[in-house]
Structures are given as C-alpha cells and as structure tokens.
C-alpha cells in the first residue's frame, strides 16, 4: 500500500496569514492527490482534486500544487471559517488512503 | 441535489454485527461507485471498501477482509455496509461517499456519518 504522511500535524495561525500544509506519498502517485476539509462533527468536504484543481464552490484562497511524491495545500489568507482538519488522499491505487490530517486553528 | 443519507446511530455488544445503510438521491444510482470509510474518535479517516452499484462488484481493504460485506439494493437506491464480529475498537463514525464527478478517485459527496458504538 501507498503510505501518506502530512506535516505539520497541527498549526495555529492568525487571521489573514498564509498557511501551507505538506503531504508526502511513499511512492510516486503522479497527480492523483486530493485534499479534504473536515470541520468538527461534520463529514469531509472535497477541496482540491488532481493535486491542483479547485472543486466547484471552494473559495479561491485555497490552492494545491505538487506531483510525484510531494504536495502542498495553501490557504492564502486564513479565515475563521477555515478552522478544520485537512486530509490528503491518494487516488493512484486501490485501497485509497488518507494522510493522518493537519489540524488548523486560530492563534 | 446529489445526496447520501445514512441510517441512525447504533449501539452494539462485542461479537455482534452492525448493518449501516446509505440511500442515494439526485443522480443515477448505478452510475457511480460508493465507498465506505470510518473515523474512530479523535482519529483520521480509514478506507474500508467500495461497491459498483451497477454490477455489485466489491473491493475491501485487507484489514477488513472476512468481516465486512458491502451490498446494494438497486430498487431503492441504497447501499449497505455490514461489519461482523464487532470489537470495542470498531467504535467509530462510518461514512459512505460517492465517487466524485470532478475526477476519478475523489469522494464527493459524503453521507452525514453513522456513529457505531461497541460496548458491553
């Protein structure tokens, strides 16, 4: 199975800050990498697919980049409603797997 | 609109089985695979398996092989996930999710989740 790691595991930032989350795959997954946002008590929501494509309806302050094994999710200007846990997910192979998550809160 | 609605919370004893339903609406049921994930309290997301509602074909994570069964009823646009020989560490929120249309391998939308509590 492909193993996914994320860093950091948690972060605190101020409103308006630029926030970057990193996801790494244990082998190349091309651009088969998706990002989800999960707010407390809610189901995950698709934010970014195919590493860098913004899902319809998602604010443009969210962006994704990377290919191969290293990927990033960036929030250009953190807003209070972005408080959540963010998960990467590889869709390269069966047994789709998620990263361990990055919890984002407001400083 | 496209939505998945799951059955309600369950409390089960160790060794029992649980069957969670996921009813689809707003799209052609047989056109998209449905996957099951779970999330233990305070933990991350874990993929369990998937079903092709058209053929009934399934794939399961090795961890759950022999304990999980995913089925569907096309007459009522519903998918079921049954987990047997429950243990306390099966306590989790169980989610169904449809394969998204933006790209293969994405999950969108998700059901609201079903809490399964395993306790003696």
- pLDDT, tens digit, for every residue of A14-70? 999 999 999 999 999 999 999 999 999 999 999 999 999 999 999 999 999 999 999
Residue B23's SS3 state is strand
Confidence band (pLDDT; 50, 70, 90) for A77? very high
Determine the average pLDDT of the residues in A2-24.
97
Confidence band (pLDDT; 50, 70, 90) for B22? very high
Determine the average pLDDT of the residues in B34-56.
97
- Residue B120: what pLDDT? 95
Determine the average pLDDT of the residues in B79-92.
98
Cross-chain Cβ contact B102/A55 below 8 Å: yes
Determine the average pLDDT of the residues in B89-98.
98
- CA A41/CA B96 separation, integer angstroms: 15
Tell me: pLDDT of B101 over 70.
Answer: yes
A50 and chain B in contact, CB less than 8 A: yes
Tell me: pLDDT of B31 over 80.
Answer: yes
Query: CA distances (Å), B13 to each of B21, B29, B54, B91, B117, in order?
Result: 19, 33, 34, 11, 8
A3 and chain B in contact, CB less than 8 A: no
* Closest in A34, A46, A101 to B44, CB measured: A101
Determine the average pLDDT of the residues in B101-110.
90
* Closest in B35, B95, B100 to A43, CB measured: B95
Element containing residue B94 per DSSP (H, E): strand B92-99
C-beta of residue B115 within 8 angstroms of C-beta of residue B17: no
């Amino acid at each position: 199975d492909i193993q996914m790691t994320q860093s950091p595991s948690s972060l605190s930032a101020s409103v308006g800050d630029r926030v970057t989350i990193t996801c790494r795959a244990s082998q190349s997954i091309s651009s088969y990498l998706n990002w989800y946002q999960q707010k407390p008590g809610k189901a995950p929501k698709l934010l970014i697919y195919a590493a860098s494509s913004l899902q319809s309806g998602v604010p443009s302050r969210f962006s994704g980049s990377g290919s191969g094994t290293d990927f990033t999710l960036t929030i250009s200007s953190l807003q209070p409603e972005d408080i959540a846990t963010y998960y990467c997910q590889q869709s390269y192979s069966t047994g789709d797997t998620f990263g361990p998550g990055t919890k984002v809160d407001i400083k | 609109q496209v939505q998945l609605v799951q059955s309600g919370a369950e409390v089960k004893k160790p060794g029992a089985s649980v069957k969670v339903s996921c009813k689809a609406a707003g799209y052609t049921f047989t056109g998209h695979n449905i996957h099951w994930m779970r999330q233990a309290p305070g933990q991350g997301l874990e993929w369990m398996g998937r079903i092709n509602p058209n053929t009934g074909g399934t794939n399961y994570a090795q961890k759950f092989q022999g304990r999980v069964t995913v089925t569907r009823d096309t007459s009522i646009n519903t998918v079921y996930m049954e987990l047997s020989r429950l243990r306390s560490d099966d306590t989790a929120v169980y989610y169904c999710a449809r394969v998204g249309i933006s790209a293969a391998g994405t999950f969108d939308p998700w059901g609201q989740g079903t809490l399964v509590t395993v306790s003696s």
